[in-house]
Chains A and B, each alone.
Chain A
């Protein structure tokens, strides 16, 4: 396998690291959530890439002779579940951010820390 053959894997690892970097290095809570979303989306791509069979079609019954090669649909289904989980996580995260903004008046991590220390 060459570099092009691993194209999807490389992209998903790149996205994973981008997302991870944003989560760690950005102090803004919304940006953190965006990073988290990129991070988990990269895993979705990883899963879907795993399911791909070279030359495979959609997993449906096609008239005509011969065994048809089809792409493994299970990872897609799994990822559908993971997407729902991701949406729920983002929703909880955003709701928390709104509440934090209400109570602290800011969503910057350093400012929140300062306000907590001044208590």
Chain B
């Protein structure tokens, strides 16, 4: 049983999806989703524990060995990202039922759960697989289901948002496909570890082979589209603001993280431990990352749709992650990888509060937040704590990753960059404060009928995340040591 954990991680949600379509009863579907997501979380913890104790796990699909067959390869980095994805999935599952009852038509709920599980299977597949082409297939699996999920939003703009995402996402995926094809053309292998070995053996990296450069140009642009790096982020605000709440929570906390993971995999594992990356691609990604932090935060300040505001803030936060990656130092990478985890915690939490507000008030415009501090005290308190974490206030998770990011920027001697990170945090104070001020200090709507606190099934996952945000802000040893180990692995230091 233990030996087959890697494949179970992907196959459980993949089997759960058709099961949901067959049963058609909303309650049963919800139970299936919960069972699959929770067991997925347990599996990812077991895998992480195995990797932590015994080192990387290799699982050969169907017994075909490495360069020929598809292998699942799990090391410190994937194990960490797997935990992020399954943790959010496990928290979203209990949240989903009430939120979906409100937002999705009854006869389409079965399809919704099936798509959610498919998306989960795709994301977990990307993370766990050790085969570049397999990664592309899983990427498309998760993307296709997320297009459909986004289109399920109540408002018709969800449809155009999904279409826009479909066009941009497919272009990105096709670019990734071209990049993988060129790498295959160069080396004759698709296995990621073997790719790295072949490139090294034939001295393709050192000589600056032109096909290799082209391949990485395509891969970087394609992945930047998928992870919504600054100039390629246009699909993200629409997709996040018009999707159903559950979808926004799940995608915001996992999808872009997985794309960042792919970037790390290609640029570090294949391209050989970062020295080359720092000289070339790292320098190219640096500017968009800084723009993302600065422009994303500024645009967020001017949004009146709060879900959209949080989407722009996500773009800024993605900038922090890629910024940590561009430094390509152990500390910088640790900060970037840790921010994957912390951002999943805080954005998951913030979008969960949005879902609760939509559940009671039916709208997330700034003016609708008036008086919510009194009427939905638990939800708004959760929002405040998520906001504090987003700003990077000490004793919250967000502080830890920002602290390491600033520290590593100073270590590299990038003073202006460190300054910009702090300015980004100050901008976050402004946009979070707008909501807090409206919710707590503005007079209540007079005509508004009284809405009360969100139901317990929404509050419970939300407050688990609140506690996680605070706990990992005070005692950050666990994620920090895992991120540090992943960073060392990528840079080929120690381990």
Cβ-based interface call for A17 (8 A)? no
Contacts of B178 in A (CB 8 A): 43, 46
Residue pair B166, A50 in contact (C-beta under 8 Å)? no
Scan residues 14-66 of chain A and give those whose CB is less than 8 A from a CB of chain B. Answer: 20, 23, 29, 32, 36, 39-40, 43, 46-47, 50
- B444 contacts chain A at the CB level, 8 A cutoff: no
B148 proximal to A (CB < 8 A): yes
Nearest CB to that of B177 among chain A residues? Answer: A43
Chain A residues lying within 8 Å of B166, measured Cβ to Cβ, are: 89, 92-93, 96
B137 close to chain A: CB less than 8 A: yes
Asked if B174 CB lies within 8 Å of chain A CBs, one says yes
Beyond A23-B171, A39-B171, A104-B156, whether A29 also contacts B163 by CB under 8 A is: yes
Q: Told that A43-B178, A99-B159 touch, could you supply 11 new A-B pairs with CB distance under 8 A?
A: A36-B167, A36-B171, A39-B171, A39-B174, A40-B177, A46-B181, A78-B181, A88-B140, A92-B144, A93-B163, A93-B166
Residues in chain A near residue B133, CB distance under 8 A: 78, 81
In the assembled complex, B160 has its CB within 8 A of some CB on chain A: yes
List 5 A–B pairs whose Cβ atoms lie within 8 Å, in order of A's numbering: A39-B174, A43-B177, A46-B181, A100-B159, A103-B156
**CB < 8 Å neighbour of A97 from B140, B157, B163, B181:** B163
| Chain B 119-148 residues near chain A, CB threshold 8 A | 133, 136-137, 140, 144, 147-148
- Report Cα–Cα, A43/B182, bound state, in Å: 11
Interface pair A75/B184, CB less than 8 Å apart = yes
Chain A: number of interface residues, binned into ranges = 20 to 34
Are B167 and A23 within 8 A (Cβ)?
yes
Determine chain B's interface SS by DSSP, over half rule.
helix
A92–B171 Cα gap in the complex (Å)?
15
Residues of A within 8 A of B159 (CB): 96, 99-100, 103
B209 touches A (CB below 8 Å):
no
Query: What separation, in Å, do the CA atoms of A20 and B175 have in the docked complex?
Result: 11
Contact A96:B157 (CB < 8 A) given known A75-B184, A85-B140, A89-B170: no
A92 to B146, CA, bound (A): 11
The A/B interface has a contact count, at CB < 8 Å, of: 68
Say yes or no: A89 contacts B148, CB within 8 Å.
no
Contact with A along B146-180 (1 / 0, CB 8 A): 01100100001101101100110011001001100
Check B101 for interface membership: any CB of A closer than 8 A: no
Q: How far is the CA of A100 from the CA of B151 in the complex (A)?
A: 10
Q: What distance in Å separates the Cβ of B349 from its nearest Cβ neighbour in chain A?
A: 30
CA distance A62 to B133 in the complex (A): 30
Q: 0/1 per residue, A96-114, Cβ < 8 Å to B?
A: 1101100110000000100
Chain A residues with CB below 8 A from B184, complex form: 50, 75, 78
> Which residue, of B144, B151, B181, has the highest number of chain A Cβ atoms within 10 A?
B181
Closest residue on chain A to residue B147 by CB atoms: A92
- Among A23, A75, A99, the one with the most B-chain Cβ atoms within 10 Å of its Cβ is A99
Q: In the complex, how many angstroms separate the beta carbon of A15 from the nearest chain B beta carbon?
A: 12
- A100 CB contacts on chain B under 8 angstroms: 156, 159-160, 163
Query: Given A96-B163, A103-B156, A40 and B181 touching (CB < 8 A)?
Result: no
Contacts of A82 in B (CB 8 A): 136, 177
B residues less than 8 Å from A92 (CB atoms)? 144, 147-148, 166
Chain A nearest Cβ from B85, distance in angstroms:
21
CB distance from A81 to the nearest CB of B (A): 6
Residues of A within 8 A of B167 (CB): 23, 32, 36, 93
Beta-carbon contact of B160 and A112 below 8 Å: yes
Are A50 and B185 CB-contacts (below 8 A) given A23-B171, A100-B160? Answer: yes
Residues of chain B within 8 A (CB-CB) of A23 are 167, 171
